[in-house]
Amino acid sequence: AQKITQTQPGMFVQEKEAVTLDCTYDTSDPSYGLFWYKQPSSGEMIFLIYQGSYDQQNATEGRYSLNFQKARKSANLVISASQLGDSAMYFCAMREVNYGQNFVFGPGTRLSVLP
């Protein structure tokens, strides 16, 4: 079974608008971490934001915020005020604490920001 699901293969957003990228996950481990990475066309993986399963507040990093709904097992990435440079692939990933260092990545969402 897929541990990380990203149901949006591609998304478009107008420059300066906000956009939400969906991520749902599946785990029975009560302790886990959720990550979002950006992969521009140049290919490198860039860390964006982290949310721990026991964190009480949603994580924020600049224009990025994570809408964490634990009961629904969702960890959506919200990008505010989109910029042309935000056009990239975005990957959601999870690490289950009691399963060692096994990070699992979703298939990704390609975001295109329109001028």
Partner 1 sequence: NAGVTQTPKFRVLKTGQSMTLLCAQDMNHEYMYWYRQDPGMGLRLIHYSVGEGTTAKGEVPDGYNVSRLKKQNFLLGLESAAPSQTSVYFCASSYREGARYEQYFGPGTRLTVT
Please give the residue ranges that form the binding site for partner 1 (CB under 8 A): 4, 31, 33, 35, 37, 43-47, 50, 52-54, 91, 93, 95, 97, 100-108
Shortest distance, position 15 Cβ to partner 1, whole Å: 26
Tokens (6 digits) for 100: 């060692």
Looking at residue 101, the DSSP 8-state letter turns out to be: T
Is 93 or 113 the residue whose CB approaches partner 1 more closely? 93
Least Å distance, CB 56 to partner 1, is: 14
Q: Between 102 and 115, whose beta carbon lies closer to partner 1?
A: 102
Of 9 and 14, which CB lies nearer to partner 1 in the complex structure?
A: 9
Rounded to whole angstroms, the Cα distance separating 103 from 54 reads: 18
- What is the distance between the alpha carbons of residues 106 and 49, in angstroms, rounded to a whole number? 15
Residues sharing a CB contact under 8 Å with residue 100, sequence separation 6 or more, in sequence order:
none
